[in-house]
Structure 1
Amino acid sequence: MLREVLFLVVLCLVAWIGFDTLKGQRDEARRERDSVKWEASGLREAARISGEMLAERDAIDQRNTKELIDARTENERLRRAVDDGRQRLRVRATCPASGSVSADAGTARVADAGSAELAADARPDYFTLRDQLTQSRQMIVGLQQYVRGVCQRAPAHQDTNFPNLNERTTP
C-alpha cells in the first residue's frame, strides 16, 4: 500500500513537472508567435511605404522626362525655324556711348543696319547650350522633387529594428 501511494505521488509529481514543462513551452511558443506577428506587421508596413515611395519616384521621373522631352522638342522646333530662316536669332547688343568714340571715327560710321544677329557658325553652339541648360534644369527640379517627395518621407533610420529577428531560442 505504501508502495502504491509512493508510486501515485511520484506519478503525480512526474505529471505535474511534465505539464509545467509543456505550459512553459506553450508560453514560449506564444511569445515567439506574437513576435513573428509583430515583425511581419512591420515588414508589411515597410513594404507598403517602399511601394508608395517607388510609385512617387516613378511619377516624378515620368513627369520630368515628359517636361524635358517637351522642352527639347520646342528647342528643336526653334532650331529648324532659325535654320529655315522663318525666325532670326537676335543678340541684344548696345554700342558704346558717343563720347567714347573719337570724332575721326564718326566719319567712318555705317548706317544702322538693324538688330545684331548671332553668326551662323555660332548657332549650333547656342542651341546645344539651350539643350544642356534645359537638361540641367530638369535634373535639378527632379532631384528637388525626389528629395521632397521620397527622401524626406522616408523614416529617419533606414534600419529595420526588430529585436527578435535574428534571435533563436532553444527550448
Structure 2
Amino acid sequence: MLRDALFVLVLCLAGWIGFDLLEDQRDTARRERDSAQSEAAGLREAARLSGEMLAERDAIDQRNTTELSHALTENERLRRAVGDGSGRLWIRATCPASESVPATAGTTRVADAGRAELAADARPDYFTLRDQLALSRQMILGLQDYIRQVVQRTPAQP
C-alpha cells in the first residue's frame, strides 16, 4: 500500500510539473500574441499616417504644378503677343528734365518721345526671367505648404 501511495504521489507530482510547464508556455504564447497584436496595430497606424502624408504631398504637388502650368501658359501667351506685334512690352521709366538736359543747353528741349519700351533683343530674356520667377515661386510655395501640412504634422519618433 505504501508503494501504491508513493506511485500516486509521484504521478501527481509529475502531472503538476507538466501542468506548470504547460501553463508557462501558455503565458509566454499569450504575451507574444499580445506583443504582435500591439506591433501590428502600430504598423497599421503608421501606414495610415504615411498614406495620408503621401496623399497630402501629392495634392500639394498637383496644385502647385497646375498653378505653374497656368503661369507658364500666360507667359507664353504674352511672349506670342509681343512677338507678333499684337501686344507691347512697356517699361515704367521716368526721365527727370533736370538731369537729362544740362542747364547750359538753354531753353531748347527734345519733345517727349512717348512711353519707354524694352528693346527687341532683351525681350526673350524678360520672358525667360518671368518663367523662372513663376517656377521659383511655385517651388517655394509648394515647399512651404509641404512643411506646414506634412512635416510639422508628423508625430515625433520615439
Specify if TM > 0.5: yes
Q: Which residue of 2 aligns with 1:22?
A: 22
**2:76 & 2:33 partners in 1: Cα distance?**
63
Is the Cα contact below 8 Å between 2:75 and 2:131 reproduced in 1?
yes
Aligned length: 158
Structure 1 counterpart of 2:119: 119
Structure 1 residue 110: deviation in Å? 2.4
Considering fraction of residues, name the structure with more helix. 2
Deviations along 1:98-157, one digit per CA (max 9) or x if unpaired, are 277323335663221110000000000000000000000000000000011110111122
Two-structure CA RMSD over aligned residues (Å) = 1.5
User: Partner of 1:126: helix, strand, or coil?
Assistant: helix
Distance 1:105 1:23 in 2: 113
Match runs of 1:15-54 below 5 Å: 15-54=15-54
Normalised by the length of structure 1, the TM-score is 0.87
The CA distance in 2 between the partners of 1:34 and 1:145, in whole Å, is 39
Q: Which residue does 1:101 correspond to in 2? A: 101
Q: Cα distance 1:123–1:99, how it changes in 2: closer, same or farther (>3 A)?
A: closer
User: Deviations for 1:19-73, whole angstroms, at most 9, x for unmatched residues?
Assistant: 0110011011001101110110010000000001000000100110000000000
Query: What residue ranges of structure 2 are gaps of 5+ in the alignment?
Result: none
2:77 aligned with 1:77, yes or no? yes
User: Cα–Cα, structure 1 residues 25 and 156, in superposed 2: closer, same or farther, change >3 Å?
Assistant: same
- TM-score, normalised on structure 2? 0.94
For the pair 1:12 / 2:12, whether they are aligned, the reply is: yes
**Whole-angstrom distance in 2 between the partners of 1:126 and 1:93:** 16
Question: Does the residue aligned with 1:53 lie in a helix, a strand or coil?
Answer: helix
Q: d(CA) in 2 for partners of 1:75 and 1:98?
A: 37
The aligned counterpart of 2:134 is: 134
Q: CA offset at residue 87 of structure 1?
A: 1.0
Distance in structure 1 (CA, Å) of the matches to 2:83 and 2:99 = 38
**What amino acid is aligned across from residue 102 of structure 1 in structure 2?**
P
Query: How far apart in 2 are the matches of 1:85 and 1:124?
Result: 14
Alpha-carbon separation, structure 2, partners of 1:15 and 1:59: 65
Structure 2 CA distance for partners of 1:80 and 1:99, relative to 1, 3 Å: closer
- For structure 1, the 5+ residue unaligned runs are 160-171
Whole-angstrom distance in 1 between the partners of 2:101 and 2:119? 25
The sequence identity of aligned pairs, in percent, is 75
